[in-house]
Amino acid sequence: MNSFARAERAGVELVERLGGRFDAAVVLGSGWAEVAQGLGAVTGEAAAETITGFHPPSVPGHGGALRAVAAHGKRVLVLAGRVHLYEGHPPSDVVHGVRAAVAAGCTTVVLTNAAGGMNSEFEVGQPVLISDHINLTGQSPLAGPAPPNGYAIRFTDLTDLYSARTRLAVRRVDPSVGEGVYAGLVGPHFETPAEIAMLVRMGADLVGMSTVLEAIAARHLGAEVVGLSLVTNAAAGIAGALDHQEVLDAGQAAQSRIADVLNTVIRVL
């Protein structure tokens, strides 16, 4: 089965198992998992590995749940247990959740992540809307065999990839939410200070290890894309040394702030 057909099958399973079609999807990044609990009532749940093409959680007992949540009059599909390139998975697996979500009816995909901040205006703990991205993974979810009949051609336009309408609406409600360009790298190591200096010159404000391939796949399928980063640390060479625990702690400290922003995003969709 090709990766598009596999995602369509997963979409059908999600609709059957979680009680109907969806309006929007939220992909949870580091730091965002608990926030999604506060979005609304959970009306259905499935373990990721019970749906076609989804991976079991890489840390047993953590994440990996696919949930239906009722929020602001919308049916939201909340996807935990994101798959990363740095785990050795191919791009088609990295974007499987997004493709399945669109097959399950989602017309908007909200991609959340933790990111290093390179813009001096950003503070640790600040939520930032992604305005555009620089894909430095060297990969595309659209490389490989052409998409099957019925799909858009692979030469996807990425102009205005991240919904300007949603960014405007969110910042009207909360002007403290930042906006910036996200550079997506493979990782899993953090960057060198020289790499960060290069990324700043390229015009990036945020750096992370996810999101860019999922955004491309969602756009190819015609979905509206929203990107939301939590700045968990100043990028390498800007403040002190980097530490994964620091990233996790910053996520923990920012819970109520990012919960508010995610709620606002869903409300204005």
Query: Is 86 an annotated catalytic residue?
Result: yes
Nearest distance in Å: CB 207, ligand HPA: 5
Query: Is 256 an annotated catalytic residue?
Result: no
Distance in angstroms (rounded) separating the CA atoms of residues 220 and 147: 10
Distance in angstroms (rounded) separating the CA atoms of residues 32 and 39: 11
Query: Is 195 an annotated catalytic residue?
Result: no
Q: Which of 34, 87, 121, 123 is catalytic?
A: 87
Phi first, then psi, for residue 123 (nearest 5°) are: -110, 155
Q: Which of 2, 5, 62, 152 is catalytic?
A: 62
The token pair at 6 is 């596999």
Nearest distance in Å: CB 129, ligand HPA: 17
Query: Is 162 an annotated catalytic residue?
Result: no
Nearest distance in Å: CB 124, ligand HPA: 10
Nearest distance in Å: CB 161, ligand HPA: 20
Nearer to ligand HPA, 105 or 187 (CB): 187
Query: Is 209 an annotated catalytic residue?
Result: yes
CA of 75: how far to CAs of 43, 47, 79, 165, 218, in Å? Answer: 9, 18, 13, 20, 18
Binding site residues, ligand HPA, CB under 6 A: 114-116, 190-191, 207-209, 232-233, 235, 242, 247
Nearer to ligand HPA, 56 or 240 (CB): 240
Q: Which residue is nearest to ligand HPA (CB)?
A: 116
- CB distance 251 to 114 below 8 Å: yes
Nearer to ligand HPA, 45 or 121 (CB): 121
Distance in angstroms (rounded) separating the CA atoms of residues 86 and 69: 29
Q: Which of 48, 71, 80, 114 is catalytic?
A: 114
Nearer to ligand HPA, 18 or 213 (CB): 213
Query: Is 96 an annotated catalytic residue?
Result: no
For the annotated catalytic residues, the residue numbers are 30, 62, 84, 86-87, 114, 209-210, 233, 244
